[in-house]
Amino acid sequence: MNLSVKIGSSLFPSPVTVASGTFGRQMLALTPELVSVLGAVVPKTVTLDPREGNPPPRIVETPAGMLNAIGIENPGVEVFIERYVPEWRRSGVPLIVSVLGHTDEEFEALAERLNDVEGVDALELNLSCPNLGRQRLAAQDPAAAKRIVHKVRRIFRRTLLAKLSPNVTDISEIAVAVEQGGADGVSMVNTFAAMAIDVHRRRPKLGNVIGGLSGPAIRPIALRMVHQAAARVKIPIVAMGGIMTAEDALEFLIAGASMVAVGTAQFIHPEAVLTIYEGIRAYMRQHDLNDIAQLTGSLREKGAGR
C-alpha cells in the first residue's frame, strides 16, 4: 500500500501532516509513535526578526473549536536555523518551514536564508495569518499572492507551498493565482477571522480583539473551499480545517486534497494524527485501494446521497 505523496521535488511518506503552530518540538521526544506516521512536520511560522506576538489572552474556547490570536510569536529565522532545525532534522521526518514576511523583500530574504539549510524540505508561504492587525492580507489579493510566490520561486530551489486564507469571496481564484506564480502546492485553509465577547465585562475575550477560528466548526466550509480549488488547479492541495477523525480526513482527500494537516484536534486528542493515519489505511484496505492517489479527487457528484 503506497501512502506517499509527491509535491514539487519532495516525497512525503504519509498523507498526514500537522498544521503550523500546533506541533511543538517537545512532541518529537514525547510521541515517537505519532512522529513515525507523519508525512511532514510544520513548525510555528518563522519571521525574519523575532516577534513577541499579541497580548494575552491569546486562546479562547468556542462551542465547536477555538479562537487563537498568538500573533506569530517566534525567535526569528537565525535562531530557528541554529537551534531548532537540527532538532526537527533528527526526527527523520520531512520539514516544511512556514514563513511570513511583512513585505515582498522579507519573503525573499527568508527564502534566500533557508535555501541551503540542510533538512529544510519545503517552504510554506504564510500569506494568510488573520490576527496581525492588517486591513488586507496577501492571500486576499490574487495579484499580490501571485507576485510574492513568483519572487520567492525565483530564489527557492525546493518545494514551495502557498498557504491561503478562507477570508475571501472565492478562494479558488487565489489558488489559481499562486499556481500561476509558480507554487508547487497550496495549503488551505488558514483560520477564519472571528471574535468573542465577555458580556459581563463588555470586553473582547482576546487581547488582540480579533483572532482565528479553527476546529470542527469550520470543517464543512473548508471542505467546500478545497473542492472548489481542486476543480481549478492542477497542483496538489494540503488541506486543513477542523480535521478530528479519519473520516474527516477522508472527506478532504475525496474532495481533492493530496495531504491533510491536523491542527486543533491535537490540543484535545494528542494521538489524533496516529488514529487518523491508521483510519486512512483501514479504509484503503476495506475498499481495495493500493495507492493514496486513488482517493484524491474521487468524489462521485452525481446521484448524491446514494
pLDDT in tens, 63-86: 999 999 999 999 999 999 999 999
Q: What pLDDT score was predicted for residue 304?
A: 63
Confirm whether 117 is domain-assigned: yes
DSSP state of 95: B
Handedness of CA 122, 128, 133, 138 (dihedral sign): positive
**Cα separation values, 259 from 69, 111, 154, 157, Å:** 26, 23, 25, 22
CATH (domain of 125) = 3.20.20.70
Q: What pLDDT score was predicted for residue 219?
A: 98
Question: Can you tell me the mean pLDDT for 112-124?
Answer: 97
Residues in the chain: 306
Asked if residue 222 has pLDDT above 70, the reply is yes
Phi, psi of 223 (to 5 degrees): -60, -45
Confirm whether 208 is domain-assigned: no
Secondary structure percentages of the chain, helix, strand, coil, to 5: 35, 20, 45
Annotate 176-201 with b (16+ C-beta within 10 A) or e (fewer). Answer: bbbbebbbbbbbbbbbbbbbbeeeee
Whether the Cβ atoms of residue 101 and residue 48 lie closer than 8 Å to each other = yes
Q: What pLDDT score was predicted for residue 130?
A: 62
Whether the Cβ atoms of residue 93 and residue 35 lie closer than 8 Å to each other = yes
Q: Which residues are catalytic?
A: 129
Number of independent structural domains in the chain: 1
Q: Please choose, from the candidates 116, 113, 249, 107, the residue with its C-alpha nearest in 3D space to the C-alpha of residue 183.
A: 107
Question: Can you tell me the mean pLDDT for 194-198?
Answer: 98
Confirm whether 143 is domain-assigned: yes
Confirm whether 112 is domain-assigned: yes
Write out the residue range of the structural domain in which residue 100 sits.
Answer: 5-53+72-190+215-294
pLDDT tens, residue by residue, 151-193: 999 999 999 999 999 999 999 999 999 999 999 999 999 999 9
Question: Can you tell me the mean pLDDT for 247-268?
Answer: 97
Confirm whether 306 is domain-assigned: no
Q: What pLDDT score was predicted for residue 306?
A: 54
Q: How far apart are CA 191 and CA 63, in angstroms?
A: 16
Question: Can you tell me the mean pLDDT for 259-276?
Answer: 95
DSSP assignment of 49-91 = S-B--PPSP-EEEETTEEEE-----B--HHHIIIIIHHHHHHT
Confirm whether 226 is domain-assigned: yes
Confirm whether 305 is domain-assigned: no
Confirm whether 204 is domain-assigned: no
- Per the prediction, the chain carries an average pLDDT of 95
